[in-house]
């Protein structure tokens, strides 16, 4: 791409004073701009565009059935990826990319330095998540399992974002459960820390520009009862191979530089 990429994005009130307010994809794009890789041009509406004419859509929302999808000529879709000749699979993003990077900067832990065998830390905040997360008692198969169901009080979520990242990075395996969309920010966070994902039905690991490969990037299970047997069958050497594959995938596809280069390439390819 001959000139610097410009992202056309909405500007919420107070953005100039607090550009770190956003999260997910939009926080990552802020990191791109801070590094001088992209420029922003602020537009009305709630959508991200790769062109001034607003025909190349960058769809960063979880679903396509809970809000209008604007008219487009071409689109990169991050979470739900509908089958359409003008729509293409993109990458996905962690909930707080800066926090992920801060944890990685502390050093990625080795197999022997990870005291937790398997982990899930999440919430149930809506009926869509309940449908995908409460069909089994996944605490039966996971060593450390935290999943408060809505509300606060004694069942409130116990971790700060920093504590969450540290514990996820201290586990060998991380359970993935469907989010509000078929992908969840946790999916990318596991890849970032080399915490090998345990994938269940309903999680989308295929609709990426670079799809995940079973036995390379993740293990799959159908029920909680399968988890322990599956994890026990994976040797330290096999885990290290998968760990390195996850970390490499993250660097290519979902790290600040990797996600920028991928996005730039896909925009140039499909424009």
CA distance 189 to 256: 13
Instruction: Tell me, yes or no, whether 155 and 104 share the same domain.
Output: yes
Instruction: Tell me, yes or no, whether 136 and 77 share the same domain.
Output: no
Q: Identify the H or E element spanning 150.
A: none
Q: Is 6 helix (H, G, I), strand (E, B) or coil?
A: strand
Instruction: Tell me, yes or no, whether 165 and 178 share the same domain.
Output: yes
Q: Where in the chain does DSSP place strands (E)?
A: 5-10, 38-43, 48-49, 56-59, 74-77, 87-89, 116-121, 144-146, 171-176, 196-199, 219-220
CB 28, CB 97: distance < 8 Å: yes
* 177 class by beta-carbon count within 10 Å (0-12 exposed, 13-18 middle, 19+ buried): buried
Instruction: Tell me, yes or no, whether 183 and 214 share the same domain.
Output: yes
Q: How many domains does the chain have?
A: 2
Number of H helices, E strands in the chain: 8, 11
CATH code of the domain in which 159 resides: 3.40.50.2000
Instruction: Tell me, yes or no, whether 118 and 220 share the same domain.
Output: yes
Residues facing 5 on adjacent strands:
38
Instruction: Tell me, yes or no, whether 54 and 178 share the same domain.
Output: no
CB 100, CB 28: distance < 8 Å: no
Q: Within 85-184, where are the H helices?
A: 97-105, 127-133, 161-168
Instruction: Tell me, yes or no, whether 67 and 137 share the same domain.
Output: no
Instruction: Tell me, yes or no, whether 32 and 148 share the same domain.
Output: no
Instruction: Tell me, yes or no, whether 42 and 122 share the same domain.
Output: no
Q: Taking the mean position of all CA atoms in its chain, how far away is CA 107?
A: 20
Instruction: Tell me, yes or no, whether 88 and 11 share the same domain.
Output: yes
Q: Going residue by residue through the chain (271 aa), what tens digit of pLDDT does each one get? A: 568 999 999 987 666 556 666 899 999 999 999 999 999 999 999 999 999 999 999 999 999 999 999 999 999 999 999 999 999 999 999 999 999 999 999 999 999 999 999 999 999 988 999 899 999 999 999 999 999 987 555 457 889 999 999 999 999 999 999 989 999 999 999 999 999 999 999 999 999 999 999 999 999 999 999 999 999 999 999 999 999 999 999 999 999 999 999 999 999 999 9
| Domain that includes residue 263, residue range | 5-93+256-270
Looking at residue 271, what DSSP letter applies?
Answer: -
Instruction: Tell me, yes or no, whether 209 and 195 share the same domain.
Output: yes
* 102 class by beta-carbon count within 10 Å (0-12 exposed, 13-18 middle, 19+ buried): middle
Instruction: Tell me, yes or no, whether 109 and 239 share the same domain.
Output: yes
């Amino acid at each position: 791409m001959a000139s610097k990429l410009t992202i056309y994005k909405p500007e919420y009130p107070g953005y100039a004073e607090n550009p770190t307010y956003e999260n997910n994809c939009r926080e990552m794009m802020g990191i791109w701009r801070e590094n001088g890789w992209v420029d922003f041009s602020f537009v009305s509406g709630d959508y991200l565009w790769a062109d001034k004419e607003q025909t190349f859509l960058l769809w960063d929302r979880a679903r396509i059935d809970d809000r209008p999808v604007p008219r487009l000529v071409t689109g990169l879709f991050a979470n739900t990826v509908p089958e359409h000749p003008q729509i293409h699979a993109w990458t996905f993003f962690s909930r707080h990319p800066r926090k992920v990077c801060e944890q990685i900067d502390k050093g990625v832990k080795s197999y022997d330095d990870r005291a937790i065998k398997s982990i899930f830390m999440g919430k149930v905040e809506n009926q869509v998540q309940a449908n995908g997360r409460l069909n089994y008692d996944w605490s039966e198969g996971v060593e450390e399992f935290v999943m408060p169901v809505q509300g606060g009080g004694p069942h409130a979520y116990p971790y700060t974002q920093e504590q969450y990242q540290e514990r996820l990075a201290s586990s060998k395996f991380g359970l993935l459960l469907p989010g509000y969309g078929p992908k969840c920010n946790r999916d990318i966070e596991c890849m970032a820390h080399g915490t090998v994902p345990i994938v269940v039905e309903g999680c989308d690991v295929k609709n990426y520009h670079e799809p995940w490969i079973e036995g390379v990037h993740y293990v799959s299970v159908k029920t909680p009862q399968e988890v322990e047997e599956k994890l026990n069958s994976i040797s330290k050497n096999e885990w290290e191979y998968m760990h390195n594959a996850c970390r490499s995938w993250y660097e290519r596809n979902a790290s600040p530089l990797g996600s920028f280069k991928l996005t730039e390439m896909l925009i140039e390819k499909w424009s």
